[in-house]
Chains A and B, each alone.
Chain A
Amino acid sequence: MPSMANAPASTHPAPAGVEDLRELFVRWQTHGDAAARETLLTRFMPLARSLARRYGRSSEPFEDLLQVASLGLLKALDRYDADRGHPFPSFAVPTILGEMRRYFRDSGWAVHVPRGAQERALKVRDAQERLANERGRAPSVNQLAEYLEFDTEDVIDALQAIQAYETLSLDAPRPGADGDVVAYGDSVGKDDDRYELVELDATVTAVLGHIPPRERLILRMRFVDDLTQTEIAERVGISQMQVSRLLRRSLDQLRTLTHAS
């Protein structure tokens, strides 16, 4: 792979007019003049860079994608027919995008991107916890984005994605926390007798009986005791994002069960 991907983006050769460009293409395509090719490459590298940035938003290490875009640019330099009268960029854009798409397909990006998203979601989950502990309140999306050096959009995606990851280790107890419901009930009972009532509560309805005790407890903490999700997360020993996920899921299940009954 050529190394021109590392050419500085700020290199602006003297502006060449249409005729100069045509001349450069003739020199490269007809006479194999490598210097002409290098000039064209430098001139259009910002195009490849711009396309890599637009198309590959936070998906791959940027430098990898830029190499692929550069390869597309090289192909476009070889194949462009100046006599057809189209400006080079309108010919090069689909060629470069096509190269990046092919790379995504061949490298299994379509399969692996969910994993990348999962990894980001887990980082967001952990950072949420850390920042909430440090600052005593749940962080905002901007604070998370800044802390993790992610785009705001990646954090928002993570907040949403976490809902889908049933199989991830999200349900695993947090380090040092006791995720076991029964043991949790025991330990809570010592501090606060109210929560023991959850399991003894005679008003647990038939519908409510269909969801696990821990989820009933979390519902109660949020909707009856009015604890924040971060406070619930601390007491139950799971992450706030998992509290969020369990609340959404159990409300959804309860609604479905209520409709069915």
Chain B
Amino acid sequence: MADKVPNVCLNLSNRPENVLVVRQALTGLAENQGLDPIETNDMNTAVTEASNNVVQHAYEGDEGPLEVELYTEDAAVMVVVRDHGVGIRPHAEDTEDGHAGIGLPVIHALTQSVEFRNLRSGGTEVRMQFAAANADALEPPTDGGMEVIAGAEAGSDGASTVEMTLAPTIVAQAVLPRVLSALAARAHFSTDRISDIQLVADTVVANAGDSISGTHLGVSVNLAPRDLELLIGPLRTGSASRLIESAVDGAGRVIERLADDHRVSTSDSSETLALRLVDRS
């Protein structure tokens, strides 16, 4: 298990609104894996409890990271929810009070197995395994590493940044449009522009196989009201401009057409494509 690579990795802050991002990623994966509505509901409910625990308790009122990893397995889905704060306190829930602290019993009841690990660096990992009859292990390619490009740039509010890595492509296909829709909805985008963002997400995913450097599609999102910046990478040298120029008969260059701005930044061995989408309606 230790060296398994996640299909979806989300680096978020422990803001309450990010629980919806986690749920959308899960729902996308559940659809992709053909989970039935009850399995999906079980998984969403338990993962929501674990995430809410990080939101409410892990940092004692401060802000800190909420990390979520999703793994597909044969007939199961594994979800890891991690914080770097005080972590979950399994015994704090042992109260006779009927309406306080039922998160842990809920997680226990809805998972096939669950493990709580204290991290040496501080914080806790909740590793939840869910039975999912139709699920198949979708191994990300093993060559190359999984890099996450830094989302927040100097001066931007780190807390409104979401970072994710996705693999393989069919997982990205199911998860990226959903997660970006949820973020665009939070940034008050209109339904018109949310749909445009889905089209951009589809285009990025469709070209990911030819453009990513490493194994995972990395996307960081910086959010401001009606303004969304996507940082896509690391990409192989030369492929950022190919992605922008990728054209479809009848529509032309989809990304160039739908994004308000695009920029390629180059490092030693890779590129990052920055796309900005604004809602001016």
- By a beta-carbon cutoff of 8 Å, the part of chain A in contact with chain B is 16-18, 21, 43-47, 49-51, 54-55, 57, 59, 87-90, 93-94, 97-98, 101, 104-105, 109-110, 113-114, 128, 137-142, 144, 152-153, 155-157, 159-160, 204-205, 207-208, 211, 216, 219-220, 222-224, 226, 228-230, 240-241, 243-244, 247-248, 250-252, 254-255, 258
Contacts and interface: CB of A to CB of B under 8 A. Distances in A.
Contacts, number: 170
Interface stretch (B153-161, B193-201, B270-278): B193-201
B78 interface: no
Interface in B189-233: 189-196, 198-199, 202-203, 206
B79 interface: no
Contact of A87 (B48, B94, B199): B94
A142 B102 contact: no
B185 A155 contact: yes
A159 to B, nearest CB: 6
Most chain A C-beta atoms within 10 Å of own C-beta, residue among B38, B42, B45, B195: B195
Contact of B195 (A21, A137, A229): A229
B109 interface: yes
B102 A50 contact: yes
A251 B200 CA distance: 11
A152 B194 CA distance: 14
A98 B38 CA distance: 12
Contacts of B99: 46-47, 49-50
Contact of A254 (B41, B42, B185, B250): B250
B60 interface: no
Interface residues of B, number: 55
B185 A114 contact: no
Contacts of B23: 153
A65 to B, nearest CB: 12
B96 interface: yes
Most chain A C-beta atoms within 10 Å of own C-beta, residue among B93, B104, B248, B257: B248
Contacts of B195: 159, 229, 240-241, 243-244, 247-248
Given A228-B192, A244-B198, 5 more contacts: A104-B41, A152-B185, A223-B254, A229-B195, A254-B251
Contacts of A152: 20, 185
Contacts of A51: 102, 106
Contacts of B193: 138
B252 A142 contact: no
Contacts of B122: none
Most chain A C-beta atoms within 10 Å of own C-beta, residue among B49, B250, B251, B257: B250
